[in-house]
Structures are given as structure tokens and as C-alpha cells.
Amino acid sequence: MKPNNNTIKLNYGQGCLDLLAGEEAKVVLPQELPPAGSGEVERSLDQAVGRGLEDFAGARSASILVSDITRPAPSHLMLPPLVKRIRELGIRNLFVVFALGTHRRMTAAEEEYLLKDCICLPHGQHDSKGCVPLGWTERGTPVEVLESVASSDLIVATGNIEYHYYAGFSGGAK
């Protein structure tokens, strides 16, 4: 295979990279699935597996965990119907927490990009210095949770499940 001047643009971050491909190169483009239709979040809330939000009527506080900038979860689409349902339960003390895992802290611009029209919601990023110990797993691994989350009456975790190069799949508990 001898190289030629076939240049392929690859999306990377917020820009793109040029890749010089040989004559024999075959480019296979990913096929993205269409987004869920209008009302899908509401339908999911109505048909919860296990306990539904209505089981938490009377709760005073809620933490909503959302993905950080490294994940493609559409938090800005999930939050409005979720927050509406939580407020319909009478819960006014609500806080959105970016679950960073082992990732770096995000910039204010990245927070705004992820929340879009929901940027006015009280929010913050996970900070291991603000965690409280809750105990240990059967294997002796310490369990620590952000204090503001641990003290919430209701904790709702959102996100996505996708292939992860190192861990098999992403989505929180690997």
C-alpha cells in the first residue's frame, strides 16, 4: 500500500484532525442512532423499573447526579422533565452534581455547555474532599459519598451506558 494525498477529516474534541490515508484505506463511519423522541424521558419516569419518583413524596431534598464533559449523556434534555416531576412532589431543595469519577474538574464553560437552559439550577462538581464515609464493601473497600448527596432524601442518578475502552462499559458502576 503506497501513500497518496487522500486526507480524511476526523472529529476530535471541538475541532478536527487531518489524517493522511493510503490508497487502500477504507473508512468506516459510525452510524448514530436517532435521539429518543419527544416525551421519552416522561415515559421513562412514568414506567420506572422499581420505585418511581412518586414513592418519594414528602421528601425535602434531592440530588440529581449528571455526567461530566467526558460523556455524551444529554443532561440538558433529561433535567427539565425530571426537575418538573421532583418539584411536583413538593421538593424545593434540589442540587445537580456533576459526577466526575476520576476525571478532572470542569470549567464553567463546560458546565454551561452541558446544562444549557438548565444552567440556573443549583449545581456543583464532585469533590473528594467533601465526602463522608458510609462504610465498607464486602471486600473492604471504603465507601465515601459527597456529603450534600449523602444527606439528600432523594438521589437520582442519570447518565448513559456506552463502550469504554478500558473498563468494558461506562455508566457509573463498572
Task: State phi, psi for 147 to the nearest 5 degrees.
Answer: -55, -40
How many of the other CB atoms lie within 10 Å of CB of 168?
8
Catalytic annotation on 76?
Answer: no
Direct distance between the N- and C-terminal alpha carbons of the chain, in angstroms, rounded to an integer: 40
Catalytic entry in 76, 103, 123, 126: 103
Task: State phi, psi for 111 to the nearest 5 degrees.
Answer: -60, -45
In this structure, are strands 61-67 and 131-136 parallel, antiparallel, or unpaired?
Answer: unpaired
Catalytic annotation on 126?
Answer: no
Catalytic entry in 76, 123, 126, 164: 164
User: Which amino acids are annotated catalytic?
Assistant: 103, 164
